Structure 1
Amino acid sequence: MSTDQPDEHRIGRRTYVIAPVEPLDTDGVRTVAVGTLVFAVAFVALLPFYGWLEQTDRTWWLWTCLAGAGLGLLGLEYVRRRRDRRLAAADAGTTPGPTA
């Protein structure tokens, strides 16, 4: 097989094809940033409806959005630091430690 063709693996009567796909950017910064932004926008969008949320016992929607945005900010800092450690380790030619 040439390197351009996908790998095929047979397990029992099934054949699995593994396509030659480049790996995605896996540092997670963009994913966490988008998730945090979605929670923050949802929080702001629900603020005008606080009275209705309170009447229908759904204020937890608002506080869930606030918690998601807050935890997202913590997560964003975490993934940024992890990315920076990995880039520094790659530049130095070493592998990051177990806390990376």
Structure 2
Amino acid sequence: MAKWTPRHEAPEPLEGPVVATITGGTILWFVLFLVQLPLYGWFDDHGHTWWLWTCLAGGGLGLIGVWYVRRRDAALRRAADARDLTATPSTPSAD
């Protein structure tokens, strides 16, 4: 079996409102959990309680995701600021 090697470079990752996207998805998971919570008896009778716990797990993992992408954005901003500071030439003082 031959080793697979890519024939072209990978595309650049898409950048967008990542924090807003993850936050929206997290809110959606929690809303789905809360909407299904009053129907717990029906879910339990039909063996579908995993639907409820999946929504709760999605919300919990979404909270971790929000924390992660906020820290990532902050690190990217710090790196860009540091890059800007080193790229800016210092002006010699006029004595």
TM-score > 0.5, shorter chain as reference: yes
Aligned match for 1:53, one of 26, 36, 43:
43
Stretches of 4+ aligned residues off by more than 3 angstroms: none
Higher strand share goes to which structure?
1
Unaligned stretches of 5+ residues in structure 1: 1-23, 95-100
User: How far, CA to CA, are the matches of 1:58 and 1:85 in structure 2?
Assistant: 41
Can you list the C-alpha shifts for 1:23-49, whole angstroms capped at 9, x where unaligned? Answer: x75251111000000000000111100
Q: CA RMSD in A?
A: 1.5
Paired AA for residue 61 in structure 1: W
Give 1:29's aligned residue: 19
SS at match of 1:31: helix
TM norm structure 2 = 0.70
What is the rounded CA distance, in whole Å, between the counterparts of 1:26 and 1:90 in structure 2? 16
Say which structure, 1 or 2, has more relative contact order (CA 8 Å, 6+ apart): 2
- Distance in 1 (CA, whole Å) between partners of 2:27 and 2:45 is 27
Do the aligned residues in 2 keep the contact of 1:50 with 1:59 (CA within 8 Å)?
Answer: yes
Structure 2: runs of 5 or more not aligned: 1-13, 85-95
1:77 lines up with 2:67 in the alignment: yes
Residues 33-80 of structure 1, C-alpha deviations (whole Å, 9 max, x = no match): 000000000001111000000001110110000000000000110000
Larger Rg: 2
User: What's the CA shift for 1:93?
Assistant: 1.0
